[in-house]
Amino acid sequence: DHGLPRPECQVSLGGALGWIGTVDFVWSRHRVVVETDGGAFHDSVTDRENDERRDRALEREGWTVLRFGWIDVTKRPTSVVHTLKRALALAA
């Protein structure tokens, strides 16, 4: 919570060239996406390359993409909140 607006969850996003992907959390009004990366789907080189490609596609469409790993979310939540608040404020 931490005073943040509630995001939309598991949202499919597209762009000029079609569907880009389904993202974990979206603040549409601010055009901010947050992806939370667990080891099951984001550990291999191929997974990281696919994530990078999708991030760049979203950024080309005007989205700010933030990625946080399991350790960030569970061990450094204050930093995650601070980073997200700053991104939302910059986009406002």
Q: Are 4 and 89 in contact (CB under 8 A)?
A: no
pLDDT score of 37: 83
**81 sits in which H/E element:** helix 77-91
Average pLDDT per run of 10 along the chain, which is 92 residues long?
92 94 96 85 72 95 95 95 97 87
